[in-house]
Structure 1
Amino acid sequence: MHSRPAPISHAVFDTMCGTDATLERFAWLGDGIAAAIWQRDTDEALTVYARPGHHTLSCYLDGGYRTERSGAPRQYGAPLRLCTLPDDHESEWVVRDHLRLLHVYFMPEHFTRRAVLELDREPREITLADRTYFESPGLLRLCQSLVAAPWDGADDLLRANEITHDTLSELLRSQGVVRRAPRPKGGLAPSVRRRLADYIEANLARPVTLGMLAQLACLSEFHLARMFRVSFGMPPSAWIARRRVESACTLLRTSTLPLQQIADLCGYADLSHLGHRFRAAMGTSPRRYRQAMAR
C-alpha cells in the first residue's frame, strides 16, 4: 500500500499506485500540474494505461534497460530517455528489473493554451505526440532541473512551477502535433485570431473591452465572445487577465522595475489591484514571487 498524498485525479498516478512501485517524491506544483518520482524493482510486471484523460511526460532517471512498450519490440528504456503519453493514448508496458523515473502530469489545456502565442495555432488543433524512448537535450535539461529542485516550501513550489511551465512550452514546440481529426469548424479566421492576439499583447497596459475586440474583428460582441472562446480556449476577459498575470511574472523575474511600474505596464489600476489579481492566480504576492525567483 502507498501512503498517498492529497486526492489525485491523474489516472497514470493511480495506475502506478496499484503496482509495486514506490513513490519517492510527489508534489502539486500549482495550476493543477503534479510531479512524481517513482522507483520499481520487479522481476516482470505488466502495466496498462487506457485513455487516462491527461498528458504525461516520463523521464527515465535510472535503470529501465529491460522495460519495453508492447507493440514496440526491442525498444528499451534507459537513463535520459523520454516518453510522452497523450490524454487519449492506450499502452501496455512490460517492466523488468530496476527502474527510476520522473512523471509530470498535466491536463490538455495546460499544454495547448500556449499554442496561440507560441505556435500561432488554435488550442483545439494541437495535441501531445505519443512517443516512446526518445532523446531531447532541451527537455532532459528541464527534467533534470525539476528533479534537482526542492518541492517543499511555497517558494520551492513556485520555482518548480516555473520550471514545469518552461517544460510544457518546450514540449509544445518539440512534441506538439496536429490532431488527426478533421479540422474543427467555427472559430476565428487565423488572420483575425493573430490580429486580436497582437492587439491584446500591445495594449495590456490599457483597458481592453469586448467592444474594442469586436470592432477589430468586424463582428458583433455576441459573436466575437463566442468565437473567441472557441479559438483561444477561454473567454476574452479570462485570456486578457491571464496575459496580464503572465506579463507581470516575466517582469518580476527579469527586471528590477518598481512594483508600481509593473502594475502600470500590465494594466492594473494600482498596487492593490496587482496584488489581488496576482495572488489569486499565483498563490503568492508579487514581492514574494520576485524574491523566490531571485534565489
Structure 2
Amino acid sequence: MNSLYDHGVHKFPDAGLLASSRARGWKGMAAELRSHPACAIPDICSTQTEITFAVRGAKAGSVHRRGNGRLQVAPSRSGTIWVCPKGVSEDQIRITEAIPEVLHVYIPDHQIASLSVHTSRPVVFDENFYQAGLEDEFVRQICVRINSELQEETAGGAVMMEYLANVLVTHICGRFADRRIVAETPSNVGALDSRRFNRVRDYIEENLSSDLTITEIAAVACLSRHHFARAFRAAAGESPSSYIGARRIDRACNLLATSEMSLAEIALVCRFSSQAAFARAFKRQSGHSPGEYRRTSQAR
C-alpha cells in the first residue's frame, strides 16, 4: 500500500500534505488532501490510477496537462475532477494559480482487477478515461464523502471507504472500460437471512478490535463483497460501516464506564488512528467527550 503514497510524493514534490489515509487502514484505495502552489509539475508516467478532485479550488486558475500526447486544459475551480489511468505518460503539467485543497484518490491495480470476474477479459480503460474537467456527479459525491472521512475520522470509516472504493471502481469501469461488465442491480440480491445475519453479527462483535474489511465479513456470509453490502443493509436497516461504527462507540462507552484503560488505549482498541480522532467521533455520536462520559458514568 505504501507505493500508493509514493506516487503522490514523486508526482507532487512542491505540494503540501494536509491529510492522508496512510494510518487509517483503508482497503481498496488511498487518499491524500494536498495544497498545490502555482507551479510546473515534473513529467511522470503514472504508476497508479488516480482521481483528483478540487475540494477548494482557485478563483480564476487552470491546470494544463498533456497525457500520451493529448493536451488538456481545465479550470481549477472547486468541484473540478481530473482522472488519469495507470500508465499514462504526462508532461507539460502546469498549475497557473495556487489551489488550496485538492483530494487525490489512488486506486490499486488489484481493486480494478477484481472486476474481471464480471467480464470475459481483463478490464482495460478506453482512451476517454484520461479526462480533465470530468462531468460526473456520482464521482463528485463519492469524492466529497472520501474527503469528509479523511478530515473527520469515524468509527466505521475504514469499512465505508472499502465499500466506496468498490462502488467507485465499478462505476468508472462501467463508464470507461469494456461494456461487457455487468452491473449488479438491487433486484439481484435480497436481505441476509436470519442465520447469515446472526453469523455476521457475531463475527463483527468478536472482531471489533481488528481491522474489519467488507471482503472478510462478506466471506462469513458466503457472499461476494459486491452483493454483501446491499444484503446487510436490507437486513439491518443500515450499512455495514454504520453498524460497525455504532458498535465500536458502544464498546468505547462500556470501557469508559467499567475499565481503567486510558483514552489512548480505548482509541486503539476501537480502531481509531489517534486519541484525537476517537474523541471527535465519540462526541459526534454521544454528545459528550470521552472524559465527560467517563466521569458521569463512574459517578452513578
TM range (shorter): 0.5 to 0.7
For residues 130 and 291 of structure 1, the distance between their equivalents in structure 2, rounded to whole angstroms, comes to 41
Contact 1:112–1:127 at 8 Å: present in 2 too? no
Aligned residue for 2:289?
none
Distance in 2 (alpha carbons) for counterparts of 1:14 and 1:255: 43
Q: Which amino acid aligns with 1:15?
A: H
- Displacement of 1:38: 0.8
TM-score, normalising length from structure 1?
0.56
Contact 2:36/2:98 (<8 A) preserved? yes
SS at match of 1:97: coil
Question: Counterparts of 2:148 and 2:134 in 1: how far apart (Å)?
Answer: 21
Q: What residue in structure 2 maps to residue 127 of structure 1?
A: 125
Mapped to 2, the partners of 1:60 and 1:157 lie a distance apart of 22
> Which amino acid is the alignment partner of residue 34 of structure 1?
A
In structure 2, do the counterparts of structure 1 residues 73 and 87 end up closer, same or farther at CA, with 3 Å as the change threshold?
A: closer
Instruction: Please tell me whether the aligned partners of residues 33 and 107 of structure 1 are also in contact (alpha carbons under 8 angstroms).
Output: yes
Task: Please show how residues 109-258 of structure 1 align to structure 2 within 5 Å.
Answer: 109-117=110-118, 121-122=119-120, 124-127=122-125, 129-149=129-149, 150=151, 152=153, 154-176=155-177, 241=219, 244=223, 246=225, 247-256=227-236
Find the counterpart in structure 2 of residue 30 from structure 1: 26
Would you say the 8 A contact 2:163–2:229 is kept in 1?
no
Shift of 1:94: 0.6
2:64 and 2:74 in contact (8 A); partners too:
yes
Structure 1 distance, partners of 2:224, 2:117, is: 17
Distance 1:37 1:141 in 2: 16
Gaps of 5+ in 1: 1-5, 179-189, 195-200, 206-237, 258-281
Using the TM superposition, name which of 159-168 and 140-149 deviates more.
Answer: 159-168
Compared CA separation, residues 17 and 94, structure 1 to 2 (3 A): closer
Contact 2:116 2:122 in 1 (8 A): no
Distance 2:42 2:162 in 1: 28
Q: Within 5 Å, which residues of 2 pair with 1:254-293?
A: 254-256=234-236, 288=244, 291=247
Q: Which residue of 1 aligns with 2:256?
A: none
| 1:124 to partner: Cα distance | 1.2
Provide the residue aligned with 1:77 in structure 2. 76
Identify the structure with bigger relative contact order (alpha carbons < 8 Å, sequence gap 6+).
2
Corresponding residue of 1:15 = 10
Tell me the secondary structure at the aligned position of residue 71 of structure 2.
Answer: coil
Residue 22 of structure 1 deviates from its aligned partner by 0.9
Residue-by-residue CA offset, 1:212-237 (whole Å, 9 max, x unaligned): xxxxxxxxxxxxxxxxxxxxxxxxxx
* Partner SS for 2:236: coil
- Kindly state the Cα deviation for residue 109 of structure 1 after the two structures are TM-superposed: 2.6
Q: Which letter does structure 1 place at the counterpart of 2:140?
A: L
> Residue 50 of structure 1 corresponds to which residue in structure 2?
45
Report the Cα distance in structure 2 between the residues aligned to 1:256 and 1:73, rounded to whole angstroms: 46
AA aligned opposite 2:95? V
Distance (Å, rounded) in 2 between the aligned partners of 1:32 and 1:125 = 16
User: Partners in 1 of 2:125 and 2:29 — Cα distance?
Assistant: 17
How many residue pairs get matched? Answer: 204
Deviation of the 1:125 alpha carbon: 4.0
Q: CA RMSD in A?
A: 3.9
Q: Distance in 2 between matches of 1:80 and 1:111?
A: 24
Structure 1 residues 156 and 72: alpha-carbon distance in aligned structure 2, compared to 1, 3 A threshold: same
- Match of 1:31, SS state, is coil
TM-score, normalised by the number of residues in structure 2: 0.55
Tell me how far apart the structure 1 counterparts of residues 9 and 72 of structure 2 sit (CA, whole Å).
26
* Alpha-carbon distance between aligned partners in 2 of 1:37 and 1:143, rounded to the nearest angstrom: 11
Pick from 12, 35, 40: which aligns with 2:36? 40
- CA deviation map 1:58-104 (0-9, x unaligned): 11223252321145265443322211111111112112221121111
Question: Using a 3 Å threshold, how does the CA distance of structure 1 residues 77 and 17 change in structure 2: closer, same or farther?
Answer: closer
